[in-house]
Amino acid sequence: MDESDADRAERRAAARAALGVPDARILVMGCGVLHWRKSPDKFIETAAAVLSSGLDAEFVWLGGGPDEAACLEQARAAGISDRVRFTGYEADVAGKLAGADIFLLSSQEDPFPLVALYGAQAGAPLVCFQDAGGIADFVQQGRGVAVPFMDIAAMAAAVERYGRDAELRRDVGARGGDQVARSHTIDAVAPMLLHHLRRVAGLVPEVSVVLPNYNYEDYLPQRLDSILAQQFQDFELILLDDASTDGSAALLESYAALRAGTQLALNTENSGSPFAQWLRGIGDGAG
């Protein structure tokens, strides 16, 4: 179920209250074991650079680890202990990340950290290093920014830019949240896994859903969303467009990309009959 704006606001307020962060202050969050792979020292260096710019920000790291004492000393030596905190072990990571304005992934080596997706799901733009793992590919699609590897000045500049531009944060955060919902939840991944398992096992879907269309662009999202949201997921989707003159074709293409195994056929000439499209879908699919 989609989270409403009111629900998001309530979760944000609860998270920030639990962390003791004022509502007007920019909250930059990181997460993970305090260990060299996660580069918490770079998190602190970035915080120092951002705070020196005058931005009213607070940096909170969810998690503890073997380097915690060194991190505390680094923050103390930099004179920013009041704005850089480490929570120790945190059981409710997603709940606390709901309060973030920006998620800062300082890792120098991290294949594809799920916590970054939690940050994106919470609507926080992501800032990370290039060449440090798979999240860089995610953010390069408009969900944040990947700065040159270990470039603290660039990382701080990216955090400051998001911190000073609320509209940019909202736009980028919304794109990230939408991408997580579309591609990185169990509802999105399960049909893909089921498709590949069927293919390997030589099995066919239990149900074929045939959707012919002609110039119904305005109604397609609701129609397709209702199909994809069904609790029963062992079905194949066959999308047929009969040379629509509106934006139906592009819309169908975008939906076909969301679900593995979807068949899509876009006629270049109108068949003149909806029954021909139904028969095509029932007979041999879109192929």
Q: According to the model, what pLDDT value does residue 189 have?
A: 79
Euclidean distance between CA atoms 36 and 159, whole angstroms: 21
pTM (2 d.p.): 0.76
Q: According to the model, what pLDDT value does residue 204 have?
A: 87
Q: What is the pLDDT of residues 111-141, one digit of tens each?
A: 988 899 999 989 999 999 999 999 998 887 7
- 156 and 195 inside one domain: no
pLDDT in tens, the chain (287 residues): 456 778 888 999 999 999 999 999 999 999 999 999 999 999 999 999 999 999 999 999 999 999 999 999 999 999 999 999 999 999 999 999 999 999 999 999 999 888 999 999 899 999 999 999 999 988 877 789 999 999 999 999 999 999 999 999 999 998 888 888 777 777 777 888 888 888 899 988 889 999 999 999 999 999 999 998 888 888 999 999 999 999 999 999 999 988 888 999 999 999 988 888 888 888 755 55
Q: Which amino acid is at 179?
A: Q
> What SS3 state is found at 167?
helix
> What SS3 state is found at 243?
coil
How many domains is the chain built from?
Answer: 2
- 24 and 112 inside one domain: yes
Q: Which domain holds residue 151?
A: 5-183
- 161 and 37 inside one domain: yes
- 30 and 109 inside one domain: yes
Residue matched to tokens 């998690």 = 63
- 128 and 212 inside one domain: no
- 21 and 93 inside one domain: yes
Nearest to residue 249, comparing CAs of 241, 257, 260? 241
Query: What CATH number does residue 29 fall under?
Result: 3.40.50.2000
Q: According to the model, what pLDDT value does residue 233 have?
A: 84
